[in-house]
């Protein structure tokens, strides 16, 4: 990948920081409210760019919907309604303000129409492309909800579909980032952005022809890292439901040890081996640009989490 990310001090004195919230963090109204509080607090020290996953389990549902829709005797309407119900309930529990709820309802309707059309295309000739639109719906439904929740707490926001930021090849389902074009698109967008704190879809990319792609399961981690890389962020924060990274899955192994600090290369080796629960390519752009990653717990923001950084800087805390 090419080097030389832009200086994070290009526009103001506050650095850009990418905050990524995983599906378990935004899978409930309480989680979304927590996330919004954390973003709001972050605005004191940085210019946040927020990246969100789909609500926990939503992408699994969408993958199942796509698979069922391929064998043409399908309940497209039932799946569309089911996905809609999940997000409508989340919105009702998250947003108290009538106008914001109405705004979200409009975005939801538009996205559900897209989803319905994509499910209908699953039995046609270009099922791989249609499947990516189906899968992307989880994040595309989440972004306007988190954006509305930010607006509700006085943090004016802006929803962004990363299909127009992260350029990929057309390998649907597991697309590869095209670095030069991505950096150009991301910088142009960020420089020219209207007022408002950006909230972008994780997991989603787009081809030069404007087709939606996805970056592989768990791809929101990579989306956040790519944006951090392209914007020269001072760090990426990955907010999740556990207090950092462990040597093994703490739910399954009682001898799992919490990792407070790991150096880049060790973390990369473990991530590639599927051990840290992150998309395997997450650290590549971060290491390329020397951008540290912090893994932190949405429900326990005071916990130190895990810091991943170049070996010489780890000692600085």
Please report, as ranges, the residues that interact with ligand ASP according to CB under 6 A.
23, 53-54, 59, 138, 202-203, 217-221
Per-position x/- string for 3-22, each x denoting binding to Mg ion as judged by CB under 5 A, each - no binding: -------------------x
Choose from Mg ion, ligand ASP, none: what does 244 bind? Cβ within 5-8 Å by kind: none
What is the helix, strand, coil percentage profile of the chain, to 5? 45, 15, 40
Least Å distance between CB 221 and ligand ASP?
A: 6
Q: Tell me whether residue 218 or residue 305 sits nearer to ligand ASP (CB atom).
A: 218
Q: Tell me whether residue 138 or residue 151 sits nearer to ligand ASP (CB atom).
A: 138
Return the residue of 48, 144, 206, 218 that touches Mg ion, per CB under 5 A.
218
Q: Tell me whether residue 151 or residue 221 sits nearer to ligand ASP (CB atom).
A: 221
Please give the structure tokens belonging to residue 123: 């039995």
Least Å distance between CB 212 and ligand ASP?
A: 13
Least Å distance between CB 44 and Mg ion?
A: 27
Q: Do residues 48 and 39 touch, judged by C-beta distance below 8 A?
A: yes
* Spatial distance between the Cα atoms of 288 and 127, rounded to a whole number of angstroms: 35
Strand partners, 199: 50, 159
Sign of the CA dihedral 137, 123, 178, 286? positive
* Spatial distance between the Cα atoms of 18 and 63, rounded to a whole number of angstroms: 27
Q: Tell me whether residue 25 or residue 213 sits nearer to Mg ion (CB atom).
A: 25
Q: Tell me whether residue 138 or residue 232 sits nearer to Mg ion (CB atom).
A: 138
Closest to 243 in 3D by CA, of 231, 223, 257: 257
- Which H/E stretch holds residue 243? none
Choose from ligand ASP, Mg ion, none: what does 59 bind? Cβ within 5-8 Å by kind: ligand ASP
Choose from Mg ion, ligand ASP, none: what does 292 bind? Cβ within 5-8 Å by kind: none
Closest to 231 in 3D by CA, of 1, 39, 48, 42: 48
Strand partners, 307: 261, 294
Looking at 24-32, 138-146, 216-224, 303-311, which segment touches Mg ion (CB under 5 A)?
216-224
Q: From the DSSP assignment, how many helices (H) and strands (E) are in the chain?
A: 10, 12
* Spatial distance between the Cα atoms of 52 and 298, rounded to a whole number of angstroms: 13
Q: Tell me whether residue 171 or residue 314 sits nearer to ligand ASP (CB atom).
A: 171
Least Å distance between CB 138 and Mg ion?
A: 12
Judged by CB under 5 A, does residue 202 bind Mg ion?
A: no
Q: Which residues bind Mg ion (CB under 5 A)?
A: 22, 218
């Amino acid at each position: 990948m090419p080097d030389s990310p832009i200086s994070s001090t290009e526009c103001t004195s506050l650095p850009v920081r990418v905050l990524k919230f995983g599906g378990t963090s935004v899978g409930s109204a309480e989680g979304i409210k927590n996330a919004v509080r954390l973003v709001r607090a972050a605005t004191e020290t940085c210019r946040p760019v927020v990246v969100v996953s789909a609500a926990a389990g939503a992408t699994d549902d969408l993958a199942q919907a796509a698979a069922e829709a391929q064998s043409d005797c399908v309940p497209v309407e039932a799946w569309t309604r089911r996905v809609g119900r999940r997000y409508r309930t989340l919105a009702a529990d998250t947003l108290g303000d009538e106008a914001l709820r109405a705004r979200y309802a409009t975005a939801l309707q538009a996205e559900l129409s897209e989803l319905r059309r994509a499910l209908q295309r699953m039995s046609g000739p270009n099922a791989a492309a249609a499947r990516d639109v189906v899968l992307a719906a989880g994040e595309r439904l989440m972004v306007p909800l988190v954006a509305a929740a930010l607006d509700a707490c006085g943090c004016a926001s802006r929803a962004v579909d990363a299909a127009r930021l992260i350029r990929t090849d057309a390998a649907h389902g597991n697309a590869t980032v095209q670095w030069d074009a991505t950096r150009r698109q991301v910088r142009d967008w960020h420089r020219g952005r209207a007022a408002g704190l950006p909230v972008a879809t994780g997991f989603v990319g787009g081809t030069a022809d404007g087709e939606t792609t996805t970056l592989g399961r768990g791809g929101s981690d990579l989306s956040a890292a790519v944006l951090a890389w392209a914007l020269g962020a001072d760090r990426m924060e990955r907010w999740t439901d556990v207090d950092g990274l462990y040597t093994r899955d703490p739910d399954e192994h009682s001898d799992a040890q919490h990792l407070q600090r790991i150096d880049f290369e060790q973390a990369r080796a473990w991530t590639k081996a599927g051990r840290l629960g992150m998309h395997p390519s997450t650290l590549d752009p971060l290491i390329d640009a020397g951008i540290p990653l912090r893994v932190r717990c949405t429900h326990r923001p005071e916990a130190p989490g895990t810091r991943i950084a170049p070996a010489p800087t780890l000692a600085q805390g």
